[in-house]
Amino acid sequence: MLNVALGQIETIPGRPDLNTENMLTMIQQARSMGAEIIVFPEMVVPGYFLGDLWEQPSFLKDCEEFGQLIIANSLDICIMFGNVAVDWNKHNDDGRVRKYNAFFTAYKGKLLGNDNFPYPFRIKTLHPNYREFDDTRHFCSLRKLATELNVTIETLLQPVNIDLLSGSLSVGCILCEDGWSDDYFVKPIATIHKNYPVDLFINISSSPYTLGKNNKRNRVFSKQARETKVPLIYVNTTGIQNNGKTVYTFDGSSTVYNHDGEIINYCEPFCSEIKLIQLDCKSKTTFYPPVCPPNDQSISSIYQALHYGIDRFTKSVGIKKVVIGISGGIDSALAAALYVKILGAENVLLVNMPSIYNSQTTKDLAHKLAQNLGCLYTIIPIQEAVNYTIEQITTSPITNLATSDTFHLSVSSFVAENIQARDRSSRILAGVAAAFGGVFTCNANKTELSVGYSTLYGDQAGFFAALADLWKHQVYELAAYMNSNIFTREVIPQETIDIVPSAELSFEQAIDEGKGDPLIYPYHDYLLRSFMEYWNKATPEDILQWYINETLEEKLGCSPGIVNKIFATPLDFVEDLEKWWRLYTGMAIAKRIQAPPILAISRRAYGFDHREAQNGPYFTANYLRLKNQLLSVNSPYVP
């Protein structure tokens, strides 16, 4: 019988000192629980998303030094953990010192595993190189090592043998992506299992939360255990890590699969905890009935990730107080509700900043929201300052110093709209936040970020864009969920959910007249999602083809019939498509470059996860042909 402790610890990126201290505490707990083995996540000593910190040799030495403290602590307990491993005598392809993303097994004060491997640790075979992952930039994979040593991958993929008091154990030690081998031609688990006897697979991971990912992992990993008839322990980290522009939560959700692929235990998501389990790897006996982990494709999972992400991010940057500009609309209301829940009402200052364009309706809703939340509230009107700015811009004479001619500028209504937005954020909120001893939030959602429907240094500004990976329909869903499930009362006023969404920057956007945003969210949310989140990204060519084939709504996942309800003619459809595509690939990219850090929730978040160049809009040759064919039905066109 084997007693294994799952060390689902919170990794603090870039802090080997603190991580080691926390690990030593948890190791002591494991010891007192009677564990023979404790398993920690991938890269638990240094953290995983560190940018180019891996290029600092002194940091690498530091990770080695703290790793030694862990190893020295393994006299009476086997400690399995992830760390960077450095071979100071070799170099990577970039010429810098050789680094591995490594799985260490320490027991009796020594590292195990070099009886059948060139190093006393195991290294990652499959390096993810999509979304936010950057493993290939810094680490040498087992695949590359095999080529370099001129041996087969099979030779290197051998289990680690541990002589425990309870008997010998042959462990297939794998790291994160090694368990997600479907698309790779190397299959680490199948390869180890085929060639060597294995009692137990252990997958140590540093796997960020993504809506729906755990459901998929449970399918994939259950299958691996079932097919190999070997139990599998998955230990993932908690905490948050970031790549600058994109902030990821790590939910842990460490899980134990028995040899039938059944889930027999798991750790709670977003919770640092140690869990002891008993396994009889030899007899393939299950001591536990199968259990059902939480479904993570749900609004409650989104709420949990958001709550955790905001909580940890504010703590990590030392923020205790926030200022939120509230308009009476849905995005700022949801942000206010979330921050109040996390930081406490007394640390959240809501500021309503009306101009002549703001309706009494939304001003009242802003006040009502603040009242419902019981937080700090103030009203700072912007009209006088906006008028003064426009006056300064239009009355300051501009001199051409080559000719001595002078002239004046004029301010269009579009220019005046952006002046209002910047006045609110850069003049009022930034100043109020600094005086309040805090920061101000960016309440942008993913739909407006996609098309740049926001003002740079205006409503796009802020210290953190916590809602920027939620489509507008998810913002509504979450607002309703917070009222019903979190506050269990109407905190976000129902009217805020019901009114037409509007920026209220001109009389053209008067909400009491039903005028609002140019985005028709029940369609554009899904259109933009297909450009951005689809595994094979859609472009106008695909969209038009689907429109022509009458499969568009099905392909996008929006309501049947909606497309023809919105667009009277194919020309209307095409003009709308091109308009948003131009914005999505044009001005919106320029704005996203200067956007605040974004909290990732979906399968694809803006920033480091979805890399983009500011190259301007493009329409493929086939799009132009399809368009011409389609529109020539009405107005004949000769290609």
Which of 197, 219, 411, 557 lies at the binding interface for its own copies (CB under 8 A)? 411
Considering only the stretches 56-64, 74-82, 282-290, 513-521, report the one whose residues sit in contact with its own copies under the rule CB under 8 A.
56-64
Min dist CB 458 to its own copies, Å, is: 8
Is residue 295 near its own copies by the rule CB under 8 A?
no
Min dist CB 568 to its own copies, Å, is: 27
Is residue 385 near its own copies by the rule CB under 8 A?
yes
> From its phi and psi, is residue 35 left (phi > 0), alpha (psi between -120 and 50) or beta?
beta
- Total number of residues binding its own copies (CB under 8 A)? 128
Query: Taking CB under 8 A as the criterion, which residues in 322-381 touch its own copies?
Result: 345-346, 349, 370-371, 373-380
Strands (E), 67-220: 78-91, 97-107, 110-111, 122-123, 160-164, 167-175, 200-205
Which of 59, 119, 196, 487 lies at the binding interface for its own copies (CB under 8 A)? 59
Backbone angles phi, psi at 413, to 5 degrees: -70, -30
Residue 618 CB neighbour total at 10 angstroms: 11
Closer of 258 and 425 to its own copies (Cβ): 425
Do the Cβ atoms of 634 and 569 come closer than 8 Å?
A: yes
Backbone angles phi, psi at 386, to 5 degrees: -65, -45
Dist. CA 605–CA 270, nearest whole Å? 20
Which of 277, 299, 393, 630 lies at the binding interface for its own copies (CB under 8 A)? 393
Closer of 510 and 624 to its own copies (Cβ): 624
Residue 393 CB neighbour total at 10 angstroms: 15
Is residue 461 near its own copies by the rule CB under 8 A?
yes
Query: Taking CB under 8 A as the criterion, which residues in 420-439 touch its own copies?
Result: 422-423, 425-428, 430-432, 434-436
Residue 272 CB neighbour total at 10 angstroms: 17
| Segment holding 325, helix H or strand E | strand 322-325
Closer of 5 and 175 to its own copies (Cβ): 175
Min dist CB 444 to its own copies, Å, is: 13
Dist. CA 610–CA 613, nearest whole Å? 10
CA distances 205 to 23, 39, 126, 272, Å, are: 16, 11, 12, 14
Residue with tokens 């393994």: 74
Closer of 260 and 541 to its own copies (Cβ): 541
Can you tell me whether residue 111 is helix, strand or coil?
strand
Is residue 457 near its own copies by the rule CB under 8 A?
yes
Which of 242, 254, 304, 602 lies at the binding interface for its own copies (CB under 8 A)? 242
Site string (66-85) toward its own copies, x via CB under 8 A: x-------------------
Closer of 291 and 435 to its own copies (Cβ): 435
Dist. CA 555–CA 536, nearest whole Å? 12
Closer of 303 and 547 to its own copies (Cβ): 547
Query: Taking CB under 8 A as the criterion, which residues in 136-165 touch its own copies?
Result: 136-137, 143, 147-148
Closer of 2 and 626 to its own copies (Cβ): 626
Closer of 279 and 589 to its own copies (Cβ): 589
Query: Taking CB under 8 A as the criterion, which residues in 182-201 touch its own copies?
Result: 182-185
Closer of 95 and 289 to its own copies (Cβ): 95
Dist. CA 209–CA 597, nearest whole Å? 17
Considering only the stretches 205-213, 330-338, 418-426, 564-572, report the one whose residues sit in contact with its own copies under the rule CB under 8 A.
418-426
Query: Taking CB under 8 A as the criterion, which residues in 518-537 touch its own copies?
Result: 535-537
Min dist CB 47 to its own copies, Å, is: 7
Which of 163, 227, 384, 575 lies at the binding interface for its own copies (CB under 8 A)? 384
Q: Which amino acid is at 91?
A: H
507 burial class (0-12, 13-18, 19+ CB within 10 angstroms)? Answer: exposed
Is residue 290 near its own copies by the rule CB under 8 A?
no
Min dist CB 556 to its own copies, Å, is: 16
Write down the H helix ranges in 507-619.
521-532, 540-549, 552-556, 562-566, 570-585, 587-593
Is residue 400 near its own copies by the rule CB under 8 A?
yes
CA distances 104 to 45, 60, 85, 369, 625, Å, are: 11, 16, 9, 52, 57
Relative orientation angle of helices 330-343 and 360-373, to the nearest 10 degrees: 10
* Radius of gyration of the CA atoms of the chain, in A: 28
Closer of 182 and 498 to its own copies (Cβ): 182
Dist. CA 443–CA 425, nearest whole Å? 11
Can you tell me whether residue 327 is helix, strand or coil?
coil
Q: Which amino acid is at 180?
A: W
Query: Taking CB under 8 A as the criterion, which residues in 89-128 touch its own copies?
Result: 91-97, 126, 128
Is residue 219 near its own copies by the rule CB under 8 A?
no
Query: Taking CB under 8 A as the criterion, which residues in 36-55 touch its own copies?
Result: 47, 49-53, 55
Is residue 401 near its own copies by the rule CB under 8 A?
yes
CA distances 447 to 108, 444, 471, 521, Å, are: 55, 8, 5, 8
489 burial class (0-12, 13-18, 19+ CB within 10 angstroms)? Answer: exposed
Do the Cβ atoms of 98 and 86 come closer than 8 Å?
A: yes
Site string (594-613) toward its own copies, x via CB under 8 A: xxxx----------x-xxxx
Considering only the stretches 189-197, 223-231, 397-405, 503-511, report the one whose residues sit in contact with its own copies under the rule CB under 8 A.
397-405
Closer of 84 and 256 to its own copies (Cβ): 84
Min dist CB 602 to its own copies, Å, is: 15
Is residue 615 near its own copies by the rule CB under 8 A?
yes
Residue 293 CB neighbour total at 10 angstroms: 17
Query: Taking CB under 8 A as the criterion, which residues in 620-639 touch its own copies?
Result: 620-623
Query: Taking CB under 8 A as the criterion, which residues in 11-40 touch its own copies?
Result: 13-15, 17
Strands across the sheet with 598-599, in order?
A: 238-242, 246-251, 598-599
Which of 311, 542, 547, 573 lies at the binding interface for its own copies (CB under 8 A)? 542
Is residue 446 near its own copies by the rule CB under 8 A?
no
Closer of 20 and 258 to its own copies (Cβ): 20
Considering only the stretches 154-162, 180-188, 278-286, 480-488, report the one whose residues sit in contact with its own copies under the rule CB under 8 A.
180-188
Is residue 292 near its own copies by the rule CB under 8 A?
no
| Segment holding 416, helix H or strand E | helix 413-422
Closer of 264 and 319 to its own copies (Cβ): 319
